[in-house]
Structure 1
């Protein structure tokens, strides 16, 4: 079954009447690659891959690389086999967050009804900006022009009456385009798509629908609800049926709160030494803690992910006795979790740490009675040094490079997991 939502019907113009289409979805095109091209203009027009050096997965691929079948989340070895001439660059997430902040600052000039859903995409409800800035499509054109002028990176924008359709429209507008789906064209637009385009249809549910002969959104829309309930379950079947008919009541939520922050490291060589893994956890704890403090939130739970050389993946989590934004606390919990995981003889391929159950740092956080204030002072002082001299301006002594450090870091910021 085709999984691509970019059918010829979806790419054509769907009309010019944007009345009532106040939801915009702004999506940066191949964002990590676009940022890299700002600093490496000599690579324009060439296939470029970000992340996935030696091992790990692709974080982003230029459109030139995509022509060879390379896509994000693809194993690095597969990407290099498909496109051996590609230029492979390491990820620079501090740089991506910097440009992301500039993009979001442009969007914030349009309306406070702004919901950032990841480092490179956001929803806007522009109903309150129409009198000041013009029609929704005029606002979308202004956004694309200003984002390009101020940041140098391209943005595609979808304009529609709901979040679901606006996001699909921005996908079909890529690369570097704008697509309006008028209210009266919503159902025809959706029904021209493969069922995999619907929000909530993943690989497993797509295979289930395919076995029942449901390959398009139109076919799903005309499938009796009782049958969909039997195939997918009542909740999923009901939700997909509503989306197939253009019903999406979700509002743009300006009060979006991140659920977690985390980082993962894929190693150039599998690691068998537990102390080396603990050093990785310590670095990750400091990265996560710095992002918690930058976002002024506290974590109530710590989780780790361990992937063995044979790709067996384990997850462990621990609820903290008190919310924290300190690396010492995150590391202590992560180290204890790692202590309960057996390190196989073949070693560990990937290790990740995540701070979860985030709470606003200004609301309801009560320090422990025996809390040592100097712990927080030291880490906040490190934040100040890094802000002035860069992310490696100061490090804990145990993280200073040693001669036997052979593993290489590949960090990936996931959707809804990065505070910027």
Structure 2
């Protein structure tokens, strides 16, 4: 029971959307449904998820957390046929961890009771804690720190010697269920995407590669036509079993230059290791768009890049005069047997 001296516990939700096909329009529609439950929504388009602060909405709707999450799940399914997986808790990090262990069509809710929080957190591997990546987890493991409970039990001064001051304070606090980061409401960062769905589940890595290059050509042309540059790329792979994998990488410099976009996209694709994967669709998204006048191009003594940019301009003119995709990288076109 809340008292005048104790603030009302927060109820933070992390929801992941799992549509059969991903489009920008659909993501906006799913956010609109979510906004109908609570106006405090923070979009995370890179992995098709969002944070939602349900604290005030609980009083408005007269539900507990489980009930309000169930309402949201039913609305998403009824209005758009989209399953979601949801995790809720008193902090962003707990909500994110709860969502990560929840399958599509289900929800995991962690209450604000200290014992319940500790029970949920302590047995999780260290890498499950937001902010602890694989490299940091390996570093901690060398000192015998392998679980979230181990992080919570380790003296802060010891963690600081291992991780550094800021990272140690953050990890130590989150391992004990402390995380006061708010949900920041706002529109999704501007982005642009292109997708390809294979006629059959595709096993050939060369087809994966050429398809991604084709998506790069399309996105690069659209960015240059609209006078915009991208700060990051996100690659989403849809598999035969309807699961998805999403990876995002920030570009060295914001650009609409196809060779730079292609290098980043190739790195994303290679990092996924799809040699034996049955791929149903590939989606490439240019993230965090800016006006092209804000670009900062690093000058070099090599004139090859200038030649590529002139060639790119010529190809854009050909696409405008004839049709998109009429010209581009040879490796982006299918082979003729």
Shorter chain as denominator, the TM-score bin is: 0.5 to 0.7
Measured against aligned partners, the alpha-carbon deviations of 1:331-376 in whole angstroms (never above 9, x if no partner) come to xx3458989xxxxxxxxx99x9985664489xx99xxxxxxxxx9x
* 1:121 counterpart = 2:49: yes
Measured against aligned partners, the alpha-carbon deviations of 1:198-257 in whole angstroms (never above 9, x if no partner) come to 001111111111111111111111111121112122221121111101111111111265
1:161 pairs, out of 84, 90, 93, with 90
Is 250-259 or 232-241 further displaced after alignment?
250-259
Seen in structure 2, the aligned counterparts of structure 1 residues 183 and 317 have a Cα distance that, compared at 3 Å, is closer
The equivalent of 2:308 in structure 1 is none
The equivalent of 1:405 in structure 2 is 333
2:207 pairs, out of 246, 257, 268, with 268
The equivalent of 1:250 in structure 2 is 181
The higher-RCO structure (CA 8 Å, 6+ apart) is: 1
* 1:24 counterpart = 2:24: no
Measured against aligned partners, the alpha-carbon deviations of 1:171-198 in whole angstroms (never above 9, x if no partner) come to 3332422222111122332112121210
SS at match of 2:184: coil
The equivalent of 1:109 in structure 2 is 36
* 1:146 counterpart = 2:85: no
Where does 1:24-173 land on structure 2 (aligned, <5 Å)? 24-28=13-17, 31=18, 35=20, 93-94=22-23, 97-118=24-45, 119-135=47-63, 136-173=65-102
**Contact in 1 for aligned 2:43/2:188 (Cα 8 Å):** no
The equivalent of 1:282 in structure 2 is 217
TM-score by length of 1: 0.51
Q: Distance in 1 between matches of 2:34 and 2:284?
A: 31
Q: Distance in 1 between matches of 2:262 and 2:33?
A: 42
SS at match of 1:252: coil
Residue 117 of structure 1, CA deviation: 1.0
SS at match of 1:183: coil
Q: Distance in 2 between matches of 1:160 and 1:353?
A: 32
SS at match of 2:229: strand
Aligned length: 262
Residue 143 of structure 1, CA deviation: 0.4
Measured against aligned partners, the alpha-carbon deviations of 1:28-80 in whole angstroms (never above 9, x if no partner) come to 3xx25xx1xxxxxxxxxxxxxxxxxxxxxxxxxxxxxxxxxxxxxxxxxxxxx
**Contact in 2 for aligned 1:317/1:337 (Cα 8 Å):** no
CA RMSD of aligned residues (A): 4.6
Is 163-172 or 106-115 further displaced after alignment?
163-172
Gaps of 5+ in 2: 1-7, 197-204, 236-249, 264-272, 275-282, 295-312
Residue 160 of structure 1, CA deviation: 1.2
Seen in structure 2, the aligned counterparts of structure 1 residues 407 and 243 have a Cα distance that, compared at 3 Å, is farther
